[in-house]
Amino acid sequence: MAASPALQPRPLHAAVHGAGPTGALTALALADAGWRVTLRDPLDAAQLQGRSRAYAFNHSSRRLLEQLNLWGALAPVMVPFRRLQLRDQPLGREVPFTLADLPPGARSGADAAVGWIGLHGPLMAVLLERLQAHPAVRLQLGPAAPASPAAGPAAAAAAGTAEPPADLVVAADGPASPHRQALGIGLWHRPYRQSCLTAQVELRGSDDDQAWELFRPEGPFAVLPLGQGRFQLVWSAPAARCRQLEALDGAAFLDGLAGALPGALQPDALLDQPRAFPVALLLARRLGRGRTVLVGESAHRCHPVGGQGLNLCWRDVAALHRLARQVAAGRLRPGRLPARYGRQRWPDLLLTLLATDLLVRLFSNRHPLLLPLRHLALALLAALAPLRRLSLAVMTQGPCRPW
């Protein structure tokens, strides 16, 4: 009698909730690791691409994109900056970070850069195109997507979307995450007195490959190059000031902007409608429960100073990618992945949130006792190349990964 064929193990399956930049990249990372993935979002593809904002990408994000074979497709829609000018407005001191402050392996080549700026729409267009073409990814986008954590197997079967139970559930559904709330995971949450205003403008006086981080008493102010004389502003200020700026007409906004920028930068035109949003420090009390892990802003949020937000989210994805590959290779049991993920991510999250919070507290005030400390810190940065290299390594690789 012929022996029955050996049973094939059931393919690993992950359900990812939230198809923004972090959720979309998570789905691609899990598929790259050999998992089948269902990606759900109540917004459709056009809505997911429609947000008007820009992101700063550092070397930790580039490394992940290269691992996922995405860098070649995204590099053409990103603007590299080769100089970051740090300026304390009240003290009038500046510290330039250049390619010379990168390690030898990162400063050479035609595409060498301190960092990159990319617009949301082109970024999402590339990610969604890859998701739609990937045979291991199932997209469920739009209002009919079963995104509610309360909709169990019976509801899925009734809707015709029944599928094998997920070995892993990823909540990448933003700071108000319904999945985190359904799991009863609490938050540490501290609103900043500042809000943040974003706008795109045309400027004179800055090279197209130069970014600025301005420290002003009312809050940090980033000026990020988009190419061809266009720049993205990320302007932190008291909430009332941001609401006032948001309500101004174009000419009045440019007048207010001219007063906030260094004299060398002259605004010429407002390219979109300024938008203000509140800023807060947010950290989930745990990074998962059961089969579910929290990724990106469902787990944490920091002040936008230094452009750390999306890069910190994508380092979550990088950790999940490594662990998912271990599971697929049989070196880690699926049930152990959520706890291992949490242990690996806590140091980076805590150090990055602490660093951004300290920067805001140190530089967003007029306290006379702090001015000498700021003056000393900037003087040391300007004078000591090893200190600049260390600072840039922390900003571009994360505090837990040396060059």
pTM exceeds cut of 0.75: yes
Q: Which of 296, 153, 309, 154 is nearest to 220 (CA)?
A: 309
Q: Which of 223, 298, 302 is nearest to 265 (CA)?
A: 223
Domain positions in the chain are 13-76+118-188+280-397
Beta strands in 259-401 (DSSP E): 266-270, 275-284, 288-289, 292-294, 300-301
CA 26, CA 19: separation in Å to the nearest integer? 9
Question: How, if at all, do strands 36-41 and 13-17 pair?
Answer: parallel
Superfamily name and number for 13-76+118-188+280-397: FAD/NAD(P)-binding domain (3.50.50.60)
Q: What is the dihedral of CA 25, 66, 312, 15, to 10 degrees?
A: 20
Are 147 and 40 in contact by the 8 Å Cβ rule? The answer is yes
Are 35 and 16 in contact by the 8 Å Cβ rule? The answer is no
CA 388, CA 56: separation in Å to the nearest integer? 19
CA 266, CA 314: separation in Å to the nearest integer? 34
Are 146 and 161 in contact by the 8 Å Cβ rule? The answer is yes
CA 268, CA 229: separation in Å to the nearest integer? 10
Higher pLDDT, 316 or 53: 316
pLDDT value at position 157? 40
For residue 144, give the DSSP letter.
T
Judged by DSSP in three states, 188 sits in strand
Token pair in block for residue 383: 């004078």
Q: Quick one: 142 exposed, middle or buried, by C-beta within 10 A (0-12, 13-18, 19+)? A: middle
Region of poorest pLDDT, from 17-21, 63-67, 215-219: 215-219
pLDDT value at position 233? 96
pLDDT digits (tens, 9 = 90+) for 81-113: 999 999 999 888 999 999 999 988 777 777 899
pLDDT digits (tens, 9 = 90+) for 153-183: 444 444 444 566 899 999 999 999 999 999 9
Q: Which of 145, 147, 128 is nearest to 137 (CA)?
A: 128
pLDDT digits (tens, 9 = 90+) for 228-244: 999 999 999 999 999 99
Residue 3 binned pLDDT confidence (cut-offs 50, 70, 90): very low
CA 302, CA 368: separation in Å to the nearest integer? 26
Taking the CA atoms of 349, 115, 390 and 260 in sequence, report the sign of the dihedral they define.
Answer: negative
pLDDT digits (tens, 9 = 90+) for 343-378: 999 999 999 999 999 999 888 877 788 888 888 999
